[in-house]
A and B are shown apart, each in its own frame.
Chain A
Amino acid sequence: GQQLNQSPQSMFIQEGEDVSMNCTSSSIFNTWLWYKQDPGEGPVLLIALYKAGELTSNGRLTAQFGITRKDSFLNISASIPSDVGIYFCAGDGGGGSNYKLTFGKGTLLTVNP
């Protein structure tokens, strides 16, 4: 099946620093999604990307759909303590009426105040 490689697995940063994480796949995806999971909660959608090359922002978050359609990037600028959590990428590879999302294993972000 399709697999997503998400990196890094974890990050420890100081408040105010910028953060970058990415997901790569050996397969082409039609949609890329980025979710955030706060401690003790379910994942919440941050950004959705639908076209190769698309760059979309949501406040301090910016995500890009890679030109090859095999990768996506998420950047967080000027991190704050509430950015702490697990960030998941997810992709939709298409392929029929029963296709479903594939999730990366997540990036655990810790922000030191």
Chain B
Amino acid sequence: NAGVTQTPKFQVLKTGQSMTLQCAQDMNHNSMYWYRQDPGMGLRLIYYSASEGTTDKGEVPNGYNVSRLNKREFSLRLESAAPSQTSVYFCASSEFSGRREVFGPGTRLTVL
């Protein structure tokens, strides 16, 4: 089992560019999450999907959109990147909402 995989591992964007971060899990988990991690701020939830077909806003959703493509995949899109979105992005999944989450390796994004 690969667990949670994320692509790309690193990305540099210019302000205004768009991109999609991909996440997939092979554990048959129902719930998936996107977090961002900034120094001193811990993990902040951007969006989550409690089950296939549902998505909900987390603590910091502005500037992002998500798609739960199927049970395995949950993507995060930045439509018009801003320097404030420079961060490390983690995808996670769990069997059900509120259960122990398994994290991916992260995507390190820099917006110039």
Task: Spell out A's residues near B (CB within 8 Å).
Answer: 1, 6, 9, 31, 33, 35, 40-45, 48, 88, 90, 92-94, 97-101, 103-106
Contacts and interface: CB of A to CB of B under 8 A. Distances in A.
Interface stretch (B12-20, B60-68, B72-80, B92-100): B92-100
B42 A101 contact: no
A97 B94 CA distance: 13
Interface in B44-88: 45, 48, 50, 56, 58-59
A106 B92 CA distance: 17
Interface of B: 4, 31, 33, 40-43, 45, 48, 50, 56, 58-59, 90, 92, 94, 97-106
A104 B42 contact: yes
Given A33-B100, A42-B105, A92-B99, A100 B43 contact: no
B97 A41 contact: no
Contacts of B4: 42
A105 B100 contact: no
A41 B48 contact: no
Contact of B48 (A31, A35, A44, A100): A100
Given A97-B50, A100-B33, A104-B42, A45 B106 contact: no
B42 A98 contact: no
B43 A88 contact: yes
A-B pairs, 10 with minimum CB distance: A105-B42, A42-B103, A92-B98, A99-B98, A103-B43, A43-B103, A98-B50, A42-B105, A106-B42, A100-B97
Contacts of A9: 40
